[in-house]
């Protein structure tokens, strides 16, 4: 699986060229590390977020970094072994374990709830719950959808093939999109013909079970955990986990 993903990320590096000043405004892309537990597990959950809040790596931080600094897309294109480096960065990040403020964020609380409910330790590299994003890079350290139309389209197109390839290669048994209604346009464009169904009587434009030939039967789309927390709708996560446990 890892070798197949590396091929996809190398293709992203060689084939995508952003126009204007985007190369220095975009973060480096998210490149996943696949642990042994994922490869051996019969139940694999892929959590899909929106985009990173920045994604850069330099020597001297909390992890070993035997590579040149990679702080944006321009560096990703420039550094010879940048794909290998960013896979190392994903592994070293360890799902925000060493970033106290980020670790306590609703997104990572939700992520760890999936791990614990599925019988795993909440921390550690070895897991059958992986994380990726609907957008491969962040823009100006934050949300892609705050860019102009041309910028969003460029980033969306670059992200399209990679996310679908990750799902095809990783073969998750469940996918949960924590993307929210503001990202529906992107979700629907990445998966043309996606079908949306009511989930536990909720508004299907906000929280829904979704089906598509490239997604496993257990797939859902709901709000980002930050909004679920603020709106006191955290129970959505419990409901999805209940379905996963029933099917497991």
**Helix 2-15 × helix 149-170 angle, to 10°:** 160
**Matching residue, tokens 């330099």:** 58
Q: Name the residue range of residue 213's domain.
A: 2-247
DSSP letters along 198-210, please?
Answer: ESTT--TTTSEEE
Helices (H), the chain: 2-15, 22-25, 36-40, 73-78, 82-93, 100-103, 106-117, 149-170, 184-190, 225-230, 235-247
What proportion of the chain, given as a percentage, has pLDDT over 70?
Answer: 99
The stretch 127-141 carries a mean pLDDT of 96
Note the pLDDT tens digit of each residue in 99-115. Answer: 888 999 999 999 999 99
As a whole number of angstroms, the distance between CA 70 and CA 50 comes to 21
pLDDT at 247: 53
Radius of gyration from C-alpha coordinates of the chain: 17
Q: Which residues are paired to 57 by β-bridges?
A: 70
pTM of the model: 0.95
Read off the pLDDT of residues 187-196 as tens digits, 9 standing for 90 and up.
Answer: 999 999 999 9
Q: The domain spanning residue 59 has which CATH number?
A: 3.40.470
Q: Convert the pLDDT of each residue in 150-194 to its tens digit.
A: 999 999 999 988 999 999 999 999 999 999 999 999 999 999 999
pLDDT per position as a tens digit, 209-244: 999 999 999 999 999 999 999 999 999 999 999 998
Q: Please count the structural domains in the chain.
A: 1
Q: Which helix (H) or strand (E) holds 211?
A: strand 208-211
Q: pLDDT tens-digit profile of 43-69? A: 999 999 999 998 999 987 888 899 999
Q: Would the pLDDT of 248 be above 70? A: no
What's the CA dihedral at 97, 52, 210, 122 to 10 degrees? 0
Q: What is d(CA 155, CA 20) in angstroms, rounded to the nearest whole number?
A: 13
Q: What is the pLDDT of residue 246?
A: 55
């Amino acid at each position: 699986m890892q070798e197949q993903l590396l091929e996809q990320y190398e293709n992203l590096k060689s084939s995508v060229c952003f126009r204007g000043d985007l190369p220095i405004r975009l973060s480096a892309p998210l490149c996943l590390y696949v642990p042994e537990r994922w490869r051996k597990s019969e139940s694999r959950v892929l959590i899909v977020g929106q985009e990173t809040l920045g994604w850069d790596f330099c020597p001297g931080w909390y992890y070993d970094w035997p590579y040149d600094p990679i702080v944006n897309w321009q560096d990703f294109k420039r550094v010879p072994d940048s794909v290998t480096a960013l896979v190392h960065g994903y592994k070293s990040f360890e799902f925000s374990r060493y970033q106290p403020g980020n670790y306590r964020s609703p997104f990572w609380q939700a992520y760890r709830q999936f791990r614990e409910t599925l019988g795993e330790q909440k921390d550690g590299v070895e897991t059958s719950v992986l994380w990726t994003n609907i957008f491969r890079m962040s823009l100006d350290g934050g949300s892609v959808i705050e860019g102009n139309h041309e910028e969003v389209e460029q980033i969306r197109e670059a992200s399209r093939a990679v996310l679908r390839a990750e799902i095809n290669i990783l073969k998750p048994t469940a996918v949960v999109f924590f993307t929210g209604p503001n990202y529906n346009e992107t979700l629907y464009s990445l998966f043309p013909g996606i079908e949306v169904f009511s989930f536990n009587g909720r508004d299907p434009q906000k929280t829904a079970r979704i089906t598509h030939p490239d997604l496993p039967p257990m797939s859902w789309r709901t709000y980002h955990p930050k909004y679920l927390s603020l709106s006191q709708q955290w129970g959505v996560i419990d409901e999805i986990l209940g379905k996963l446990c029933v099917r497991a």
